[in-house]
Amino acid sequence: MTKEQHYSIIPLSKVNPCFISIWDEEIGPKIEDFYPKKNIGDIEDLAIQIFTTYQHFWDLPEEKFESASFILPVPKINKKARVILETISNPEVRGQFQPFIVVLLVPEYFSKFQIKKFDDLLIKIAQDYSHSRYSPKEEFTSLEHYYQDIKYRFEIIEFEREEEPEISEFYSYTAAVEDFKAAVNLFKKSKYQESYVLLKKVLAKFTQEKHDRLRMEVIYLIGSIFVQEKKYKNARLYFKQLEDLAIRFDHQRFLETGLFMNAFCYYNNQSYDKALEKLQNLEKYKLIHVNNIRYLIIFGKTLAYLKNYEEAERKYLKALKFLENVSDKNNETQFAYLNYELGLIHYRKAFEITKNLDLYKNNDVQVYLEKAISFFNESAKSIEKSENQKDLPQIYSLISNINEVLDNREIALNYLYKAFNSAKEQGKFQKILSILFKLIKIHVKRNEFGKSIQLIKDFLIEYDNSRVLDLYAKGLLYEKLGRFLIKSEKENEGLEKLTKAHAIFNQISTPLSEDLNLLIKIRSIYKKHNKSNKITEISNQIKKLSKNLENIEKKEPKNVSPLGEVKEIWFFSADAGLLLYSYAPMTEVDHDLVGGFLTALKQLSIEVTQQQLSSITVGTDRYSLYQEEGQNLFILGRSNIRSNERKVNKILGIIYSRFLKEYSGRLKKFSGNVGFFHSFDSIIQSFDFSLIY
């Protein structure tokens, strides 16, 4: 494995990677390059979101893709994405132009002005990548080549090197006071740079004159200017000075303000342990000058990031009590936010307990999940009253997921439809597609084929010609539609849809096992009606496809996961049902994936007890369980339904064998201490699955 292919196990929010993705009509987005190769969540999923956002707001059907640049919030990982979308000429795709994106992820607190400082570099990357596609002689050098410049710009943006002003010997204290008044007026008018220049000069004079109490006023304003400019590292330096001076002079207002703003700056820089220290110091005082609700929300968020859920819950509940006594037009928004955060806390509490195969024997799990539902419902009620309803699909999905885990199936289905309809109203394509697959699966289990048929038909009416519906997903939907029609005794129409699904799969350059199963089904229909010519034709296609599947060309994929097509893994002991080790950076930040994990774990735990090894799909994810005979160890892996299941199982087998090799002695003498298995993080970095096919 080359140096560039190593992946670090680090907190998601500390990384600001850049990636290039090109839209492939067969399988959706392909990640062409990604640097630094750190764990930042599901890059492929983010690429789909970006392409679908572009199509929803800017793309015109049947027209070629136009160049675009935009900023997309990515709240799951506390980021914003700066996107440059360009095209390359490709006569083999619809419209003859193939879109690609260059994306830089930046901290979510960055302003639009700060983000645009990267534009010339990102445009240069897009141009160089485009040239390399047109001219084989001009090989793209990789994003690592450009990242030093990107990193340098981050440093400039996040920390301003200040120069101390020179003040004339004739600059009087009276003039400094007048300049201070002028600076305050400029600050009030949001003319921060002009205010800053005056304040630095005033600060130098007040320091020279040793007017420390006046210095506090100036320091507070300079720190506030840096907060307005999102330069939290600079701001921290001033608020630390403010804190020290306030302690020295026993100044209550500036002591509260200094501590809180220091915590706020540390929080925004993702230094949660240091933010917590400041917030705990502030807790000693009766707050008079700091907004209690704002303080408690930041305190709760900080504790939640550090997984101190009990204390986080107390802070949020206290904030709710304060909010109930405040008359404000923004109350509904804050009620929605606090109830949502409280719901997440109980959801996460349940998740932490349920990381084992006997999760449903623990009564606390049900209590936490029921409380989560209650808080999410309160949040949804508040959002339904507001104009901004962008979070509704997420909240409805969470309520549905939890009810599914609790076997409240009718309620789960009701909320899943609410999430589906809300996502459709907001044009969230990836969410729509994921929920669609869930709804189809539920209705099929209930033998409600008519409802599944209608869902698929309605979806295809709207998205059949959409450029963001990849061929694999499209073929899969037509294949399901055909099978359901046949189940509903509409064989001719079903055969027509199966044939169309085969035609779609046939456009994909890589042979698919799904296509083979489809052809076998089509042949069985022709056999039933003794259509010998068709039987011969389909049999020849089956023979050819079977041969192609056996001889799939070995290709080195450009995977952004160190586990290849497997995105995440969990190791369990079979007898104790205890989680031994997990590599699951995305499930740690994506609340939808928590629901998928719990659903999969519940179903597979039943199959484990019955000695059945299996895989299940949840939306667009597949959860696969692997165990070798005679071993007291399971591995659960999450992959995309588009991935090759045989390849996924091979990868899981290799990881499983390596885990056994590394820890077989520990497993035989296992007494409950899972700390020994954490060293598998470093082993993950050494895996190379490029030759697995």
For 190-308, where are the alpha helices, taking DSSP H only?
Answer: 192-208, 212-228, 232-249, 252-268, 272-282, 292-305
Examine the domain organization and report whether 188 and 118 are in the same domain. Answer: no
Examine the domain organization and report whether 90 and 235 are in the same domain. Answer: no
Q: For residue 618, what is the enclosing H or E element? A: strand 615-618
Q: At what angle do helices 429-445 and 392-405 cross, to 10 degrees?
A: 30
Q: Does residue 671 form part of some domain?
A: yes
Buried b (16+ CB within 10 A) or exposed e, 424-460: beeebbbbbbbbbbbbbbbbbeeeebeebbebbeebb
Q: Does residue 576 form part of some domain?
A: yes
Amino acid residing at 336 = A
**Per residue in 392-451, pLDDT tens?**
999 999 999 999 989 899 999 999 999 999 999 988 888 899 999 999 999 999 999 999
Examine the domain organization and report whether 302 and 436 are in the same domain. Answer: no
Q: Is-contact 350 321, C-beta < 8 A?
A: no
Starting at the edge strand found earlier in the chain, the sheet holding 79-89 runs: 28-35, 18-24, 97-107, 79-89, 68-74
Whole-angstrom Cα distance, residue 356 to residue 572?
7
The candidate with the shortest Cα–Cα distance to 83, out of 128, 115, 39, is 115
User: Which pLDDT score is estimated for 186?
Assistant: 96
Q: Does residue 191 form part of some domain?
A: yes
Examine the domain organization and report whether 149 and 86 are in the same domain. Answer: yes
CATH of the domain at 22: 3.30.450
Q: What residue has token string 């969230």?
A: 428
Q: Does residue 345 form part of some domain?
A: no
Q: Does residue 517 form part of some domain?
A: yes
Whole-angstrom Cα distance, residue 339 to residue 335?
6
Return the DSSP state at 356. B
Q: Is-contact 192 229, C-beta < 8 A?
A: yes
User: Which pLDDT score is estimated for 4?
Assistant: 36
Examine the domain organization and report whether 21 and 115 are in the same domain. Answer: yes
Q: Is-contact 570 579, C-beta < 8 A?
A: yes
Counting every residue written for the chain, the total comes to 693
Q: Does residue 365 form part of some domain?
A: no
Mean pLDDT of 550-562: 57
> What residues contact residue 136 under an 8 Å CB cut-off, 6+ apart?
none
User: Which pLDDT score is estimated for 298?
Assistant: 96
Residue 688 has pLDDT above 70, yes or no: no
Look up the domain containing 149 and give its range: 3-158
Examine the domain organization and report whether 147 and 244 are in the same domain. Answer: no
Q: Is-contact 686 1, C-beta < 8 A?
A: yes
**Per residue in 37-73, pLDDT tens?**
766 667 888 888 888 887 766 555 556 677 888 999 8
CATH of the domain at 410: 1.25.40.10
> What residues contact residue 169 under an 8 Å CB cut-off, 6+ apart?
none
Examine the domain organization and report whether 424 and 452 are in the same domain. Answer: yes
Q: Does residue 339 form part of some domain?
A: no
Examine the domain organization and report whether 485 and 433 are in the same domain. Answer: yes
Examine the domain organization and report whether 479 and 614 are in the same domain. Answer: no
Q: Does residue 164 form part of some domain?
A: no
Maximum alpha-carbon separation in the chain: 107
Mean pLDDT of 321-348: 87
Query: For residue 275, with 0-12 CB atoms within 10 Å meaning exposed, 13-18 middle and 19 or more buried, which class applies?
Result: buried
The candidate with the shortest Cα–Cα distance to 268, out of 223, 237, 235, 296, is 235
> What residues contact residue 530 under an 8 Å CB cut-off, 6+ apart?
none
User: Which pLDDT score is estimated for 631?
Assistant: 86
Total of domains in the chain: 4
Tokens of 479: 């294949």
Residue 330 has pLDDT above 80, yes or no: no
User: Which pLDDT score is estimated for 172?
Assistant: 93
Examine the domain organization and report whether 313 and 399 are in the same domain. Answer: no
> What residues contact residue 359 under an 8 Å CB cut-off, 6+ apart?
353, 365, 577, 598, 601, 602, 605
CATH of the domain at 675: 3.30.450.50
Q: Residue 576 half-sphere exposure, CB side, CA atoms within 13 Å?
A: 13
Residue 78 has pLDDT above 60, yes or no: yes
> Which of 46-50, 99-103, 327-331 ranks highest by mean pLDDT?
99-103
Query: For residue 91, with 0-12 CB atoms within 10 Å meaning exposed, 13-18 middle and 19 or more buried, which class applies?
Result: exposed
Single residue among 332, 361, 389 that ends a domain in this structure: 332
How do the residues of the chain divide into helix, strand and coil, expressed in percent and rounded to 5?
60, 10, 30
Examine the domain organization and report whether 546 and 635 are in the same domain. Answer: no
Whole-angstrom Cα distance, residue 535 to residue 526?
6
Amino acid residing at 86 = E
Amino acid residing at 685 = Q
Amino acid residing at 232 = Y
Q: Is-contact 375 340, C-beta < 8 A?
A: yes
Residue 324 has pLDDT above 60, yes or no: yes
**Per residue in 461-515, pLDDT tens?**
999 888 788 889 999 999 999 999 999 999 999 999 999 999 999 988 888 888 9
Examine the domain organization and report whether 383 and 420 are in the same domain. Answer: yes
- The pTM score is 0.81
Residue 199 has pLDDT above 80, yes or no: yes
Q: Is-contact 125 92, C-beta < 8 A?
A: no
Single residue among 134, 158, 182 that ends a domain in this structure: 158
